Structure 1
Amino acid sequence: GKVIGEQNIAEGSISANFKVAYQPGTLKAISIENGKETASKTLVTTGKPVALKLTADRQTIQVGLNDLAYIKAEVVDANGNTVPYANNVKITFKLLPGKGSIMAVGNGNPTDVSSFHQPEKKVWRGSCQAIIRPDIAPGKIVLQVEADGLKPATITINSK
């Protein structure tokens, strides 16, 4: 890649602003302090939405009513990149017979007033989330997501 620009920021400031002409590809911003990289953020041009992807905050949760798993559902392109402009794609969450319950679904959109108790949610900025609680007996919790025109996804969480 090539360097587009560099900026020093004032003590106590937390941002630098750049004007960049649009070009498809990858854009990476790097924060450097005292000559060392302290943070970075990469943006990638995405393709058309083709599938759903599920990611859990962990693979195993404790049996009982006091533990939760947070499952992120994302609309992704053919390369597995989250498609941030995929708004209002309705995702349906379904637990296959097993050892858990869907406690809530959400998308982070401050203007969405739809129920978080229903097993469906429109994505916002390409994603939404389901919160799963295990039953009181150990076993596998299998969550499946579907949306019109997209390849579905499934994830398994173990409760022990």
Structure 2
Amino acid sequence: MEIYSRYPSVRLYLNDRLIGEKATTRERRIQSHLHLALRPGTLRVAGVENGQETESRTLETAGKPARIRLTADRTEISADGESLVYVVAEITDKQGRVVPNADNLLTFELQGPGTLLATCSADLKDCTAYTAPERKAWKGRAMAVVKSGREKKAASP
């Protein structure tokens, strides 16, 4: 495990069991190496300063794909026929964690005024046309780009 931290040292926990503590000095390029056998569960690294844990980050093993979470970069756009919305699709488990090895084929469909302009993922080997409504998720994620129409939608009461 390679850990980069601004703290003088870090502690690594696997399933709440301390694996070890290592210094992260400038001479070590603010990194530490801790060896562990990876197992499912919760991995937590804590920054340590003056013997006290001051900040931590946690990673959890994801379960099987169960849902698709869509997140748009905005909730309103102009009906000018030119505005864009970027919608990220994430394959998540039942707890809402992104499944990092999910490569499900997603089909994007738009209802209402607007146009599905493009779909994409960060997979450099994916040769699917950007204008295709289907896209395989890469590392659990894909994206759709939607262009606004010129028809204004009435506000809901």
Counterpart of 2:148 in structure 1: which amino acid?
P
Post-superposition CA distance 1:46-65 (Å, at most 9, x none)? 21112211111221223324
Structure 1 segments, 4+ long, off by >4 Å, are: 30-36
Q: Which moved more, 1:49-58 or 1:16-25?
A: 16-25
> How far apart, in 2, do the equivalents of 1:66 and 1:104 lie?
14
1:148 matched residue in structure 2:
none
The answer to whether 1:95 aligns with 2:120 is no
Larger Rg: 2
2:22 matched residue in structure 1:
7
SS of residue in 1 equivalent to 2:23 = coil
> How far apart, in 1, do the equivalents of 2:130 and 2:46 lie?
37
Gaps of 5+ in 1: 141-157
Q: Structure 1 127/33 Cα, relative in aligned 2: closer, same or farther at 3 Å?
A: farther
1:152 matched residue in structure 2:
none
1:51 matched residue in structure 2:
67
The answer to whether 1:129 aligns with 2:149 is no
TM-score computed with the length of structure 1 as normaliser: 0.71
- Give the deviation of 1:44 after TM superposition: 1.2
Q: 5 Å matches for 1:7-156?
A: 7-11=22-26, 13=29, 15-31=31-47, 37=55, 41-87=57-103, 89-96=104-111, 98-139=112-153
Counterpart of 1:72 in structure 2: which amino acid?
V
Counterpart of 2:26 in structure 1: which amino acid?
E
- Give the deviation of 1:73 after TM superposition: 0.8
Post-superposition CA distance 1:23-67 (Å, at most 9, x none)? 322112345679854xx5432112111221111122122332442
Gaps of 5+ in 2: 1-15
Counterpart of 1:119 in structure 2: which amino acid?
P
TM-score computed with the length of structure 2 as normaliser: 0.72
Question: Relative contact order (C-alpha < 8 Å, sep 6+): which is higher?
Answer: 1
1:149 matched residue in structure 2:
none
CA RMSD of aligned residues (A): 2.6
Identity of aligned residues (%): 34
Counterpart of 1:135 in structure 2: which amino acid?
G
Number of matched pairs: 137
